[in-house]
Amino acid sequence: MAILAKTPPMGWNSWNTFGNNINEELVKSIADAFIQRGLKDAGYEYIVIDDCWSEKKRDNNGRLVPDKNKFPNGIKALTDYIHSKGLKFGIYSCVGTHTCAGFPGSFEHEFVDAVTFAEWGVDYLKYDYCYKPRNVAGEDLYKRMALALRNCGRNIILSACNWGNDGVQKWIRESGCHLYRSTGDISDNWKSIEGIMLSQLNNACFSGIDCWNDMDMLVVGMSGTGENEHVLSTGCNESEYKTHFSVWAMMNSPLMIGCDIRNMSEQTAAILTNKDIIALNQDIEGRAPYCIRQWNNLDNVFSLIKPLSGDASTTGCDYAVAMVNISDVKAEMSLQFFDIGLPYSSGLGLEFYDCWKHEVIGFFTERASIDIEPHECRVFRCKVKKV
């Protein structure tokens, strides 16, 4: 079986902005915008429709039926259109009898649904956790769908979405899923982003090649707009959205855009297509970051340190360093290089390249002390060099 998720998947999902208001023309226009706004060139490839795409009942053969009003030409015609753009298509179902919005789920229909998705040309399945019968383990249901997909005749990524329940990180890799939600649903505000970020700092090790820790879809660029009341909120400022994107990238979370990319601002486009940040997320080794706290401000300021791929016999291996200030006031992050395995006695230091300013800011030995604005994240790609 091929490795389908060598790096965290990148794409767009309909839920955050549109909720149940999805249709064929919307999804086609999103595919067009992928090309026009440079998202495909930046590495995004999956267009995923979430809940509410099907009729309320299966057909006489027990198969799922696309909503005739929303998708009059069916799903296969839509996937063909998306594939013609060089992109991939994702769809949604649920381990339970019904989806979260009350549409047919895949419980005891896993194998017929997997074949149906394969016939439609689906590349990605988001698999939710609502209306699961009480007396069956969710672990078994994810294994069942993973097995069904592996025998459907098509390579389809399986994205488990059980919101971090049931100790999912302890068993999800063995299930055959390619990514898994580790958190509750995100909202378009700073407190939601901060809460998710902090909840996952100790779980970074439960993520790696072909089974990634999904911290939920991005709200970058939503700015308090959208049709989904479950996600709609106050919005964030540009700095907070940069922090959101930076930390998700550093934590190896899939980067699934949730805003309406057809009318996103230039500032939003610049965040979502920042190739220096995306490169950290898509590093081929998929190393998890580790966290170092600011010694005199433990609750508010920390650094994430991530080893990156490279050849020590030629260019050497870079490190990604993200310095985060979650407090409401300006603060210092002093990173002691001894704490990342680089003692002063080694005769080595670090050259800091700023991934948001796209410039080298200096060469440091023993430590680097950076001032960080409230809710800001400074991200650096660091090269090990001789003093």
* Active site (catalytic) residues: 128, 185
Q: In what order do the strands lie in the sheet with 157-160?
A: 212-214, 179-181, 157-160, 124-128, 88-94, 46-48, 10-13, 255-257
**Checking DSSP bridges between strand 10-13 and strand 46-48, what pairing results, if any?**
parallel
Q: In what order do the strands lie in the sheet with 301-311?
A: 290-293, 301-311, 316-325, 377-386, 348-354, 359-364
Q: Which residues of 15-51 are buried (b: 16+ CB within 10 A; e: fewer)?
A: bbbbbbebbbebbbebbebbeebebbebbbbbbbbbb
- 3 state SS of 230: coil
Q: Which of 163, 116, 121, 118 is CA-nearest to residue 142?
A: 163
Q: Let me know: does 275 contact 255? Beta carbons within 8 Å.
A: no
- C-alpha distances (whole Å) from 65 to each of 126, 130, 247 are 17, 20, 38
- C-alpha distances (whole Å) from 53 to each of 67, 70, 98, 317, 350 are 6, 7, 13, 45, 51
